[in-house]
Structure 1
Amino acid sequence: MTTEPTAPSLPRKPLDHARLRRLVVGQGLAAVVDALFLIWLTLFVLELANPGIATGFVLVAVALPRAALLLPAGVLVDRVGPAPVAAAASWLRVAVLLALAALVTLTSPSVTTVALLAGLLGVADAAYFPAALALLPAVVPAEKLSRVNALIQGAESGGDLVGPPIAAGAIAAFGFDATIGAIAAMAALAAVALSTLIRVVRRGEGTRDDTGPDTIDGEELSSVRALGAGLRYAWHEPLVRGMLAAIALINIAVVGPVLVGGAVLAAQRLGGAGSLGVVLSGFGAGSLAGSLMAGWRPPARRGWTVVGGVAAIGAGMVGLAVATQVVAATAVASLIGLGSAFLGVVVVATLQERVPEQLLGRVMSLVVLATVAFDPFSYVLAGVLLPLGTTTLFLVCGGAVLACAGVVATSPAIRSLR
């Protein structure tokens, strides 16, 4: 059974306590670090080797351990607690970034060395992401979850929007070594802020049930059986199952078609490949606006908001099928970004409120997995449909998302959400 949240009136100030400010600063800085480092890593590998397989090799080195370890990390979060895991993962990030800074400053590292360190960052990410999401309800009152989620996701969207020009400009002005040093310093500030929350969060103080899904006759389950308990909960709980399925389908139908199909669309109809940057900037701006809107005015009828968010994404994909001007394509991409971000805040806040505490780490690891693990399938889908034309690509993918909105609307567990 899910637990129902309390519904006190929403305070005017979402950050009226020091621990909430530390949480937002820590996770917000971590999100900006992610955006800056991805650009730094891509440009640095391009500096080391010609464009092609080397860049893909390093990015895969980050993605593989992250995807493989997410579910075990969710068990770790539920066993140890979100605050210690988030802090430890943050400090591992700092250590890896400092090691990279030292290598770049003192030596000429090989692509293999960079890939190995990038893989360690993937390990840190696998632990950090579910821990960060599970940490919010341990620190933030239920009535503030939407606003704090919105602020953190807004920092992520803002980082994606301005990160590329800032990182590229810093590299051009100060070099790779100084830029990675600055990124490491920001990561250290984030780790310090998150580390202060360890003593704030006290697990087991009347909130954990010893007869929960991780215990049988008072004996704690093994890690494998605990992971199985989390998967069974997510499958048998209609609300969790429906939201995870919607997130996964949207990821498959949007990521690859927008990035791969968008590049072809820009070259064929929008005046050249350079216009893709304008369209993607529209997506980033829409994401930022969607995050802030979801936090500023949390919806009263969450279920229909989820349906509307999915429908907005599908409508935007269909709009790209007929867009022939940069302005129109940018506006449509903004709609997709707005719907995605608004939906993300609502879904995550809803699960944080309703999933039992002892399962929250595992459920959050599934949420993260649904958003990152299906990227390869999305790229394959785009590759299969592109020979049929960009119009067909976006119509098929947009239609799939609109159909998903219809299915979500028929789910009593989601439709009745308040």
Structure 2
Amino acid sequence: MATTDMPMTPRVRPAHRDPNVLRWLTAYALSLIGDIVWMVALGFAAQEVAGPAQVGMVMAAGAVPRALLMLGGGVVADRLGPGKVVVGSDAVRCAIVLGIAAVLWLSSPGLWLLVAGAVLFGVVDALFMPAVGALPPRLTELDQIGRIQGLRMLVIRGSWIVGPPLGGLAMAYGGAAASLGAAGLLFALSVPLLMALRLRSLPSDDPPAVIVPQSAWGELVDGLRYIRRHRVIGPLMVSGAMSELGTNGLLSVGLMLLSRDQGWGPSGFGWIAGTFGLGQAVCAALLAVKGRVPRAGLVQNVMLVLGSAAVGTVAFMPTLSAAVGLSLLSGLLCGMCGGLAISLIQTSTEPGYLGRVTSAMSLTGVGLTPLSLPLFGAAISAWGVQPVFAVGAAFSALGAVAGLSATAVRRAELPRLPGRKDTGQPVAVPTQNPN
């Protein structure tokens, strides 16, 4: 992977026409689809050799080390550079998956192999995710981050459309070994694309005049302190975490139980969840084309309140068609809210902290939120669907208090380079003092 001192002058090409950005998006899509196919194959492989309880154990085995080590993965990305870490970790994930596929092809190992493979994959995933998320600011100028996040959201939506059927087809025609082989091939295809990326040099890449050694733990604490003290990143992290914890359980376990209670069945759940994803995809496309939304900080928080309210109100809809329509609106609002939040955080972060900040963002959605799903199920069993939807949505909306109460967030704008025509005000590149 080449690291060059790319010029800081405005680029002629927007992100969706930049070959460097498109290489990253393609590699990211291949990795995401590989992740999904891996999970499908892992679950079915466990089902062949164990009961339902053991299947759940295998599926959760990788989530625990990923959640525990995610922040440490951010430290590694900042120390070694996200380019090196993302290539190395993706290559290791490929080796793990292909190794398990080979063993399954040649023999019939017990459950231990699947558990060990899931744990190892989770450990490496804790390195890969912060590194791949920290790459966008090194691919192009900061005024293109909004477009990149819109394109990234489109890639995520598309991966969930392609991944499950691909994994299911591979399982149907070749069993777990073939499905794991397909996942490994996807990872293998992403590695050369990641190696071909041209990463621009950021200010923190320059060697300091005086090197002050710091332990990994010290760097982790320093990163958390940086997030807490930053006037834009800190409040947005709090609001994002509250939104994830308040709504993700509603949009998975909650919608399943709502569809059951209302008599809409699995097809009803599919329509509601699908239109929510469609709304997010449409909003991602708008953000990818427009690139920059004026008064982004204020808009993000308003969208958070409205999106949370829409999600909570779905449970009170009398008909499936009304729930589907409101779900589409929820997806539009939440999609814009999430894309703007990530863009504001990444453009406000000092380059030397990008890995740690990205790992903190990933921790809530990927690490902590899945662990909260049983709590939503238990709460719905105890109090019913509608009260839990109302409380979860209210908790998510309260996250906007952290944003709206911070003057820096209300005034936050996405960057605009000199000479670009836009309706918003430019934002200076973050300084060394986050206070």
TM-score (norm 1): 0.89
Q: Which residue of 2 aligns with 1:388?
A: 383
Contact 2:130–2:359 (CA under 8 A) maintained in structure 1: yes
Deviations for 1:182-206, whole angstroms, at most 9, x for unmatched residues? Answer: 2211111111111223xx3365777
Deviations for 1:30-57, whole angstroms, at most 9, x for unmatched residues? Answer: 122222322232233223323x211221
- 2:261 is paired with a residue whose SS is helix
Query: Structure 1 residue 370 and structure 2 residue 371: aligned?
Result: no
- 2:345 is paired with a residue whose SS is helix
Q: Which residue of 2 aligns with 1:38?
A: 39
Query: Aligned partners of 1:333 and 1:219: how far apart in 2?
Result: 52
Aligned length: 405
1:338 to 308, 332, 344: 332
Deviation at 1:327, TM superposition (A): 2.5
Residue type at the aligned position of 1:210: P
1:272 to 243, 265, 290: 265
Q: Which residue of 2 aligns with 1:25?
A: 26
Alignment of 1:264-343 (within 5 A): 264-297=257-290, 298-343=292-337
Deviations for 1:67-103, whole angstroms, at most 9, x for unmatched residues? Answer: 1111111111111000000001110111011012212
Query: Aligned partners of 1:365 and 1:274: how far apart in 2?
Result: 35
Q: Which residue of 1 aligns with 2:105?
A: 105
- Cα–Cα, structure 1 residues 335 and 97, in superposed 2: closer, same or farther, change >3 Å? farther
Contact 1:230–1:359 (CA under 8 A) maintained in structure 2: yes
Q: Which runs of 5+ in 1 are unaligned?
A: 1-6, 212-216
Deviation at 1:269, TM superposition (A): 0.5
- Cα–Cα, structure 1 residues 319 and 29, in superposed 2: closer, same or farther, change >3 Å? same
- Cα–Cα, structure 1 residues 309 and 106, in superposed 2: closer, same or farther, change >3 Å? farther
Query: Structure 1 residue 176 and structure 2 residue 170: aligned?
Result: no
Contact 1:313–1:401 (CA under 8 A) maintained in structure 2: no
Query: Aligned partners of 2:126 and 2:331: how far apart in 1?
Result: 24
TM-score (norm 2): 0.86
Residue type at the aligned position of 1:279: I
Residue type at the aligned position of 2:149: N
Alignment of 1:194-233 (within 5 A): 194-197=194-197, 200-201=198-199, 207-208=205-206, 210=208, 218-233=211-226
- Cα–Cα, structure 1 residues 312 and 240, in superposed 2: closer, same or farther, change >3 Å? same
Residue type at the aligned position of 1:224: W
Query: Aligned partners of 2:326 and 2:92: how far apart in 1?
Result: 39
Deviation at 1:278, TM superposition (A): 2.6
Query: Aligned partners of 1:344 and 1:271: how far apart in 2?
Result: 29
- Cα–Cα, structure 1 residues 373 and 180, in superposed 2: closer, same or farther, change >3 Å? closer
Alignment of 1:73-88 (within 5 A): 73-88=73-88
Query: Aligned partners of 1:307 and 1:413: how far apart in 2?
Result: 12
Query: Aligned partners of 1:73 and 1:25: how far apart in 2?
Result: 23
Contact 2:245–2:396 (CA under 8 A) maintained in structure 1: no
- Cα–Cα, structure 1 residues 312 and 110, in superposed 2: closer, same or farther, change >3 Å? farther
Q: Which residue of 1 aligns with 2:132?
A: 132
Deviations for 1:388-416, whole angstroms, at most 9, x for unmatched residues? Answer: 11111111111222233344223212110
Q: Which residue of 1 aligns with 2:426?
A: none
Deviation at 1:114, TM superposition (A): 0.7
Identity of aligned residues (%): 25
Query: Aligned partners of 1:246 and 1:178: how far apart in 2?
Result: 42
Query: Aligned partners of 2:97 and 2:331: how far apart in 1?
Result: 30
Bigger shift: residues 285-294 or 59-68: 285-294
Query: Aligned partners of 2:373 and 2:102: how far apart in 1?
Result: 36
Query: Aligned partners of 2:117 and 2:173: how far apart in 1?
Result: 25
Query: Aligned partners of 2:36 and 2:167: how far apart in 1?
Result: 9
Contact 2:90–2:187 (CA under 8 A) maintained in structure 1: yes
Deviation at 1:218, TM superposition (A): 3.2
Q: Which residue of 2 aligns with 1:4?
A: none
Contact 1:253–1:378 (CA under 8 A) maintained in structure 2: no
- 2:108 is paired with a residue whose SS is coil
Q: Which residue of 2 aligns with 1:94?
A: 94
- 1:219 is paired with a residue whose SS is coil
- Cα–Cα, structure 1 residues 325 and 107, in superposed 2: closer, same or farther, change >3 Å? farther
Deviation at 1:208, TM superposition (A): 4.1
- Cα–Cα, structure 1 residues 271 and 21, in superposed 2: closer, same or farther, change >3 Å? closer
The CA RMSD over aligned residues, in Å, is 2.4
Query: Aligned partners of 1:155 and 1:16: how far apart in 2?
Result: 15
Query: Structure 1 residue 413 and structure 2 residue 408: aligned?
Result: yes
Bigger shift: residues 65-74 or 279-288: 279-288
Query: Aligned partners of 2:262 and 2:380: how far apart in 1?
Result: 18
- 2:62 is paired with a residue whose SS is helix
Query: Aligned partners of 1:12 and 1:335: how far apart in 2?
Result: 32
Query: Aligned partners of 1:286 and 1:34: how far apart in 2?
Result: 23
- 2:277 is paired with a residue whose SS is helix
Query: Aligned partners of 1:112 and 1:283: how far apart in 2?
Result: 38
Contact 1:14–1:147 (CA under 8 A) maintained in structure 2: yes
Deviation at 1:382, TM superposition (A): 4.5
Contact 2:304–2:400 (CA under 8 A) maintained in structure 1: yes
Deviation at 1:334, TM superposition (A): 3.1
Residue type at the aligned position of 2:404: A
Bigger shift: residues 70-79 or 384-393: 384-393
Deviation at 1:245, TM superposition (A): 0.8
Query: Structure 1 residue 238 and structure 2 residue 231: aligned?
Result: yes
